[in-house]
Amino acid sequence: MATGESPVKAGSYQNSVVDELLQRDPGKDLSRINQRLLDYVNREPVSALRAIDIKVPQVTFPEGQDVPEINATEFEINHLRSAMASHGCLIIRGLFNRRTMADFCRVIDLAMEATNGKPKQDEHAAHISEMFSNPPSKFSSLLPEPSLSYARKFHRDGGSAMCVESASISEHLLELYASVGIKKIVADYLGEAPCLSALKWVLRRPTLPINRDGWHQDGAFMGQGINSLNMWIAANHCGGKSGAPGMDLLPQRLTEILGAGEGEAVFDWSVSDHAMKTSQSKHAVIAPVFEAGDALFFDHFLLHRTQYGNDFIRPRYAIETWFFGEKNFPRNQVPLSW
Ligand SMILES: O=C(O)CCC(=O)C(=O)O
């Protein structure tokens, strides 16, 4: 499908995640998410020690890996510490159940459908649409207009949606994360309890064609001094030559933000393809292959972009969740408690 769109089809289907979402209590979820946002309203960031400032023991990963990777069944926290220190990223294979993530592709389709403003085709689409038209009231006061409309348009145009637009999807994801031990992994890595970001907790199905000049480091707009960890979960088979865009990465431990480079960068926080090609990096750019349920971890210094190419034939689905230290967080990313 040349546009990367996956139109939601009417009709019956089996999808346990959609079913579970439909059984949730939206009122309860909404008040929980509002409270999470409220918890940070009067909290000021403190520049505490960051995970990347701490010297860590080096773990040996198998030979021949461009990006360090480990199976979820063998994972220990030092894999994450060590890989972040040497390459700025780690892939944990099979961290989430493949079937659950495949179900999430449907949820992401419905979320995209919900935000496009067109009439909904079936009962499930209408219901999920309702979930996405019911954001926490605190969110709009924390992101006053025109910022909220700008953020929504930015996501709609690029093929993404903010999780907090649906309190039930957000709460469901937090329960899923807790069930596989993500809260403990993130706290152990950051060295402090984590919070999340309302702006950078995103369901993704990137619109094709992909922008060539989308290289960026999230620290360019989050700030450099923060304590961060992003968990990017692939919800379908993507990357490499799979036919669906994964992620292009420069697997290198960077500790500063690079300039935009001359000319073509798309935003004042992005880096042009030309600047990347002429950089002095000793590491090659790579585009790993992901299966549904694999997770890529990285922080606000990693240079990455949605995998660039013009021969993609399938949409790609992913869930991006940025975590920050409960003390050392970027206020501009609208933090919420966990
Ligand atoms: O999913 C993508 O293609 C882009 C994700 C991204 O840029 C990020 O997680 O910071």
pLDDT at residue 274 in the model: 66
Q: Does 254 have pLDDT greater than 60? A: yes
Predicted TM-score (pTM) of this structure: 0.91
* CA–CA distance, 92 with 289 (Å, rounded to integer): 12
111-168: pLDDT as tens digits: 888 877 676 677 777 777 777 777 888 998 999 899 999 999 999 999 999 999 999 9
Helix (H, G, I), strand (E, B) or coil at 195: strand
Ligand 1 binding pocket includes 124 (Cβ within 6 Å): no
pLDDT at residue 11 in the model: 43
Structural fold of domain 16-337? Jelly Rolls (2.60.120)
Q: Does 99 have pLDDT greater than 70? A: yes
Q: Are 320 and 204 in contact (CB under 8 A)?
A: yes
Ligand 1 binding pocket includes 306 (Cβ within 6 Å): yes
Of 62, 71, 79, residue with least CA distance to 95: 71
pLDDT over 70 percentage in the chain: 87
pLDDT at residue 260 in the model: 54
pLDDT at residue 281 in the model: 64
**Tokens 């990285």 sit on residue:** 298
- Please name the residue whose Cα sits nearest to atom 9 of ligand 1: 320
Query: Candidates 105, 154, 247, 316: which one to mutate for ligand 1, based on the most atoms within 8 Å of Cβ?
Result: 247
- Average pLDDT for residues 240-245, to the nearest whole number? 98
Ligand 1 binding pocket includes 15 (Cβ within 6 Å): no
Of 158, 170, 159, 225, residue with least CA distance to 197: 170
Q: Does 277 have pLDDT greater than 80? A: no
Which residues are CB-contacts of 150 (< 8 A; sequence separation ≥ 6)?
none
Parallel/antiparallel/unpaired status of strands 247-250 and 303-306: antiparallel
Of 221, 199, 189, residue with least CA distance to 89: 189
pLDDT over 90 percentage in the chain: 70
pLDDT at residue 110 in the model: 85
Ligand 1 binding pocket includes 319 (Cβ within 6 Å): no
pLDDT at residue 130 in the model: 77
pLDDT at residue 46 in the model: 95
- Average pLDDT for residues 243-253, to the nearest whole number? 96
Q: Does 10 have pLDDT greater than 50? A: no
**247-250, strands of its sheet edge to edge:** 247-250, 303-306, 215-216, 270-271
Ligand 1 binding pocket includes 248 (Cβ within 6 Å): no
- Average pLDDT for residues 284-298, to the nearest whole number? 96
**DSSP letter string, 79-97:** HHHHHHHHHSEEEEET-S-
Ligand 1 binding pocket includes 315 (Cβ within 6 Å): no
| Domain definitions of the chain by residue range | 16-337
Peptide bond into 209 cis (omega under 30): yes
Parallel/antiparallel/unpaired status of strands 194-204 and 318-325: antiparallel
* Alpha carbon of 144 to ligand 1 centroid (Å): 24
On average, the pLDDT of the chain sits at 89
Ligand 1 binding pocket includes 201 (Cβ within 6 Å): no
154-197: pLDDT as tens digits: 999 999 999 999 999 999 999 999 999 999 999 999 999 999 99
